[in-house]
Amino acid sequence: MEKKGVVVKVSGSFLDSILEGDNAELGKLKEFSRAIADLHKSYNVGIVIGGGKIARRVINIGRALGRSEAQCDILADKAQRLNSSVLYSAFDRDVIYDGIIDNLTVASDVITKKGLIGFLSGNFPGQSMDNVAAQYCAYTGIRTMVKIINNVDGVYDADPKKYKNAKLINSMSYDKLLDLTKKDSRKAGSSNVFDYMASKAVSNNRIELYIIGYKDINNIKDLIEGRYGAGTVVNSYGTRNKDKDS
């Protein structure tokens, strides 16, 4: 039977401490590669990682030098590819595509036909990595996307870092996601739980979206198969019970 697919989007902050030389964090990188390799036994997998702190730093340098937002986006794209290369290096070569993919047709061939784990990047500057992941889903026909956030464990009704009483939103509809993200800033390096343009792509293509924390990395298969209830799920139903309407 042909495998279904999933695109995993990882927040760039996942690699921040590792890129700053904290070798104690390398265990997280190895854990991530093992978790994705295990998921790959049952699903075709594409991976997108954000630019993280290194992208924001080069963007700030670009702005200080008077560069345009478009030029800063090009700098951020270079940083994102660096992060992809670091993540790529943690995997066994026999299960991954050799290189960073920035072409939709190549991604479809690698992930859905050859069955290799593909590391994906934007095919033009100015895209958020959330939107890149959503566009790859749409093009390849993959209808499941998982976003892994490094510092929180899903979508909250308020910023949990500022408000102690903030509550995790267990599930929501596409309309609710669009409403929450529509005020998102699309400047180079903007950082939100999820991007508005990506929300539109997810909604228009009916891609089921799971937003989870890194602590749930080993439970992705159970999560998307309905046996694990962490994080926030976004779908047509607005609920984890797919027998109910939103």
Q: CA 73, 111, 87, 154: dihedral to nearest 10 degrees?
A: 80
47-84 pLDDT, tens digit per residue, is: 999 988 999 999 999 999 999 988 998 999 898 999 99
- Give the contacts of 106 (CB within 8 A, at least 6 positions apart): none
Q: How many CA atoms lie within 13 A of 88 on its CB side?
A: 21
Kindly report the pTM of this predicted structure: 0.89
pLDDT for the residue numbered 192: 66
Q: What is the amino acid identity at position 175?
A: D
Domain map of the chain by residue range?
4-235
For 4-235, which CATH superfamily applies? Acetylglutamate kinase-like (3.40.1160.10)
Q: Two tokens at 9?
A: 């989007």
